[in-house]
């Protein structure tokens, strides 16, 4: 909507004229009517002056040839009216009127005074109109901005609703300057019981930088759910930020991952103050320095996603903070500084002492207003106790049987095991066992293909070069395969939660046992052994050339 | 990209991560990933956080890597295994040959 439409068009100033119908009155009125920018409302003194009283006139002109006493209604009106001018040719009349009006004009000698006065009034009126228009436009804008802020705030609340700031082994102190935070502190558990933490600081503060926080947080949570590596996460963040942010805006960030056992830390620091690894005695063991440029500066080719990793000793913790904490302005107009902050953090190394740190920071700041967002978070390096994501199923669904008969052409072109897995992964209870079922199917299928149809010899895999040669041969022989088929069947019985797998081939080779009974350090012969150990009822039928086995979920 | 290889900043750690399926289809790529470990005797980390599927050919490839690298690396760690993957390594007694975290 165009804001100009809210400015009122300046209207003319209104002047109310009360007169005695004298020759003087008509002369004055005739001269006034020439003036533009003026709206005249006239009335006789002895008339009903209610119409005059209701107009919000800027000025009242009282024209009287002689000192006839004013009607009471007029006197009452003049008492209400702050701006009134009396006009007359007689000094004696003006003298009489001076009791009711603020100014007097002796006609015609000082009539220029009247015109100046009217001109001034008209200008003043227009200025008022303009100011009023601007004021209304401003009020309208403010209402609009408030509404928009509310909307964005709502979106933010939702976007960050899953931020795991309540994680029991982290302490945070997050204080934005305005409603919207240019700092971002995100925590999310990963699927392996690991935990991710991101602390980011966009240039500036307020709504603009906070807007960049939306896509960043969305990417962070989605990727944390998938459990991707720190290097991959920051690459994606940078990809998004470099496309999204204007050239003069970027985002300093430190992303950190703590393993489920609380010992292994991977981090990437782009432009954030060095985080501190502090042991329980308060010694600073390590500075997690910024070895990279902030997010959103470099394009994909230049971006360096290399992470640093280390082992965190038991009882240690990692303190992350934005420069707002270092540059905290104290009540004595001094900055806190990195050294003082380090001393403060190492004075209180225990998680339960965190409130002390906050207290000290607030004491230092006193009444000084914040000039940058503050974010401080301390993560304890200890087992996360988050556990791996598990889902329980109430029932195991329908019994079913899936069979696929593959001809030579299909064997060449398709990856049957992966295709079967993508089909059965649609069933939640089987999905949970997909890695194991994949292993079984892959072993049985590869055995049927490699030994049954292609006649390959596993002994070739004895050394690394042979290993490569074996798979080279597999590829070549598969390309030349003219006939032969492999039949894969998978049966599921829900009450016993049992999967039965059968794989048959039409080839000539036998089920290769590879000639080793135990797991050795040989790079081959493990497939069958894995099946033997992990499944039950493992049989090989020479007649039908079928391997079959069962597995309980 | 199913296989990703990266040295840590100080060159003392080589991280190889495998996404999706870990089997013989990666045999050359995997060999290449550890062909140049530098002379800093790095620790090798095989990050399997995103490995959903593996079979015995992957076990073979890991063993070949161990043989090939020998003393040129400090140790080989297999990290971030999903529980099912972990079980396969346990049954194969890989814990005796690698550091499994």
| Relative orientation angle of helices A434-447 and A416-424, to the nearest 10 degrees | 150
Query: Any bridge partners for residue B16, and if so which?
Result: B5, B46
Task: Locate the chain B residue with the closest alpha carbon to A231.
Answer: B6
ipTM of this complex prediction, to 2 decimal places: 0.93
- A415 to chain B nearest CA, in Å? 11
- For tokens 């024209």, the residue is A63
CB pairs under 8 A between A and B: 123
CB contact under 8 A, B4 and A438: no
Answer yes or no: is A445 within a domain.
yes
Torsion sign (Cα): A92, A95, A101, A103: positive
Q: Which of A291, A439, A468 sits opposite B54 (nearest CB)?
A: A439
Give domain status of residue A150, yes or no. Answer: no
CB contact under 8 A, B53 and A418: yes
Residues A310 and A260 in one domain: yes
pLDDT digit string, tens, across residues A453-486? 998 888 888 888 888 999 999 999 999 999 899 9
Examine the domain organization and report whether A441 and A316 are in the same domain: no
Chain A CB contacts of B67 below 8 Å: 464, 521, 523
Determine the structural domain holding residue A446 and report its residue range: 400-552
CATH of the domain at A268: 3.60.40.10
Integer Rg of chain B from CA? 12
Which of B21, B83, B91 is the closest to A530 by Cβ? B91
* A523 at B interface, C-beta within 8 A: yes
Q: Helix (H, G, I), strand (E, B), or coil: what is residue B97?
A: coil
A355 and A425: one domain?
no
Q: State whether A467 and B47 contact (CB < 8 Å).
A: no
Domain-located, residue A521? yes
B3 touches chain A (CB under 8 A): no
In this structure, the answer to whether residues A173 and A243 fall within a common structural domain is yes
DSSP-derived secondary structure letter, A329: B
Cβ atoms of A216 and A283 closer than 8 Å: no
Q: Using only C-alpha atoms, what is the Rg of chain A?
A: 44
Q: Which residues of chain A have pLDDT under 70?
A: 1-11, 50-51, 53-54, 205, 388-395, 509-525
For residue B59, give the nearest of A228, A291, A526 by CB distance. A526
Q: Please count the structural domains in chain A.
A: 3
In a domain, A307, yes or no: yes
Contact map slice: A 524-553 vs B, CB within 8 A: 524, 526-527, 529-530, 533-534
Q: B3-7 and A400-407: which strand pairing? A: unpaired
Kindly state whether residue A385 falls inside one of the protein's structural domains. Answer: no
With CA atoms as reference, the chain B residue closest to A461 would be B60
pTM exceeding the 0.80 threshold for the entire prediction: no
Q: Given this model, what pLDDT does residue A159 score?
A: 84
Q: What is the DSSP letter of A453?
A: I
CATH number for the domain spanning A454: value is 3.30.565.10
Of chain B residues 18-57, which have a CB less than 8 A from chain A?
21, 23-24, 27-28, 31, 47, 49-50, 52-57
Interchain contact, A192 vs B85, CB within 8 Å: no
pLDDT score, position A390 = 57
B-proximal residues of A, 218-237, CB under 8 Å: 226-229, 231-232
Closest chain B CA to residue A229: B49
* Same domain (yes/no): A190, A319: yes
Question: Is residue A137 a part of any domain in this protein?
Answer: no
pLDDT confidence of residue A515: 40
Tell me what pLDDT residue B38 has. Answer: 82
Residues A352 and A409 reside in one and the same domain: no
Residues A216 and A342 in one domain: yes
The residue extents of the domains of chain B are 3-100
> CB neighbours of A469 closer than 8 A, spacing ≥ 6?
A460
A 358-397 residues with CB < 8 A to B: 388
**Does A264 lie at the interface with B, CB-CB under 8 angstroms?**
yes
Q: How far apart are CA A2 and CA A158, in angstroms?
A: 31
Q: Which burial class, exposed, middle or buried, applies to A357 when counting CB atoms under 10 A from its CB (0-12, 13-18, 19+)?
A: buried
Structure-block tokens of residue A26: 């008509």
**pLDDT tens column, A497-518:** 899 999 999 987 655 544 444 4
On chain A, the residues whose CB falls within 8 A of the CB of B34 are: none
| CB contact A182 to B (< 8 Å) | no
Q: What is the DSSP string of A342-364?
A: HHHHHHS-SGGGHHHHHHHHHHH
CATH architecture of B3-100: 2-Layer Sandwich (3.30)
Q: Report chain A residues whose CB lies below 8 A from the CB of B60.
A: 461, 467, 523-524, 526
- Asked if the structure places residue A493 within a domain, the reply is yes
Question: Is A141 part of a structural domain of the chain?
Answer: no
Tell me the chain A residues in contact with residue B91 when contact means C-beta distances shorter than 8 Å: 530, 533-534
Report d(CA A388, CA A259) in Å as an integer.
12
Percent pLDDT > 90 in chain B is 61
User: What is the DSSP annotation of A102-165?
Assistant: SEEEETTTTHHHHHHHHHHHHHHHHHHHHHHHHHHHHHHHHHHHHHHHHHHHHHHHHHTTT--T
A287 lies in the same domain as A321: yes
Tell whether A525 and A455 lie within a shared domain: yes
B92 Cα to chain A: minimum distance (Å): 7
What the block records as the tokens of B45 is 């980390």
Q: What is the pLDDT of residue A520?
A: 46
CATH classification at residue A11: 3.40.50.2300
Beta-carbon contacts of residue A449 (< 8 Å; ≥ 6 apart): A411, A478, A486, A505
pLDDT of residue A359: 92
Are A438 and B53 inside 8 Å of each other by CB?
Answer: yes
């Amino acid at each position: 909507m165009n804001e100009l439409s809210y400015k009122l068009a300046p209207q003319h100033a209104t002047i109310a004229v009360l007169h005695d119908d004298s020759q003087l009155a008509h002369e004055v009125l005739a001269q006034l009517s020439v003036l533009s920018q003026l709206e005249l409302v006239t009335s006789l003194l002895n008339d009903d002056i209610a119409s005059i009283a209701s107009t919000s006139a800027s000025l009242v002109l009282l024209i009287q040839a002689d000192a006839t006493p004013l009607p009471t209604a007029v006197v009452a009106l003049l008492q209400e009216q702050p701006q009134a001018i009396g006009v007359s040719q007689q000094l004696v009349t003006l003298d009489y009127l001076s009791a009711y009006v603020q100014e007097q004009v002796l006609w015609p000698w000082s009539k220029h005074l009247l015109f100046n006065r009217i001109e001034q009034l008209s200008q003043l009126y227009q200025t008022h109109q303009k100011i009023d228009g601007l004021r209304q436009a401003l009020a309208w804008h403010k209402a609009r901005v408030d509404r928009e802020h509310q909307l964005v705030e709502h979106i933010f609340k939702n976007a960050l609703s899953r931020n795991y700031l309540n994680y029991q082994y982290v302490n945070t102190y997050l204080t934005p300057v305005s409603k919207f935070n240019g700092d971002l502190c995100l925590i999310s558990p990963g699927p392996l019981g690991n935990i991710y933490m991101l602390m980011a600081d966009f240039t500036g503060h307020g709504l603009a930088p906070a807007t960049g926080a939306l896509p960043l947080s969305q990417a962070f949570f989605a990727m944390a759910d998938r459990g991707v590596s720190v290097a991959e996460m920051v690459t994606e963040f940078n990809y998004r930020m470099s496309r999204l942010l204007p050239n003069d805006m970027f985002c300093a960030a430190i992303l950190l991952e703590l393993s489920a056992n609380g010992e292994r830390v991977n981090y990437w620091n782009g432009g954030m103050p060095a985080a501190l690894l502090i042991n329980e005695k308060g010694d600073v063991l390590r500075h997690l320095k910024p070895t990279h440029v902030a997010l959103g500066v470099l394009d994909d080719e230049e971006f360096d996603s290399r992470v640093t990793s280390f082992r965190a000793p038991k009882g240690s913790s990692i303190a992350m903070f934005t420069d707002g904490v270092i540059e905290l302005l104290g009540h004595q107009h001094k900055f806190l500084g990195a050294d003082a902050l380090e001393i403060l953090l190492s004075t209180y190394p225990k998680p339960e002492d965190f409130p002390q740190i906050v207290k000290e920071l607030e004491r230092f700041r006193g009444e000084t207003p914040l000039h940058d967002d503050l974010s401080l978070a301390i993560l304890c390096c200890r087992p996360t106790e988050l556990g791996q994501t598990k889902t329980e199923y109430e029932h195991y669904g329908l019994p079913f049987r899936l069979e696929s008969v593959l001809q030579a052409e299909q064997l060449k072109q398709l990856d049957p095991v992966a295709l079967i897995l993508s089909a059965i992964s649609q069933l939640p209870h089987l999905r949970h066992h997909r890695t194991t079922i994949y292993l079984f199917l892959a072993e049985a299928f590869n055995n049927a293909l490699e030994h049954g149809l292609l006649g390959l010899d596993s002994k070739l895999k004895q050394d690394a070069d042979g290993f490569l040669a074996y798979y080279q041969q597999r590829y070549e022989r598969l390309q030349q395969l003219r006939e032969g088929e492999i039949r894969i069947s998978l049966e599921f019985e829900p009450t016993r939660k049992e999967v039965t797998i059968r794989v048959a081939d039409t080839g000539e080779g036998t089920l290769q046992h590879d000639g080793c009974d135990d797991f050795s350090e040989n790079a081959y012969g493990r497939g069958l052994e894995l099946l033997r150990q992990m499944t039950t009822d493992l049989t090989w039928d020479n007649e039908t050339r079928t391997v079959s086995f069962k597995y309980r979920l | 990209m199913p296989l990703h290889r990266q040295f840590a900043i100080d060159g003392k750690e080589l991280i190889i991560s495998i996404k999706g399926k870990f089997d013989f289809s990666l045999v050359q790529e995997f060999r290449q990933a550890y062909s140049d470990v530098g002379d800093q005797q790095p620790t090798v980390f095989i990050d399997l956080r995103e490995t959903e599927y593996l079979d015995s050919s992957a076990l073979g490839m890991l063993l070949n890597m161990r043989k090939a690298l020998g003393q040129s690396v400090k140790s080989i760690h297999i990290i971030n295994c999903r529980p099912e993957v972990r079980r396969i390594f346990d049954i194969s007694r890989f814990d005796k040959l690698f550091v499994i975290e």
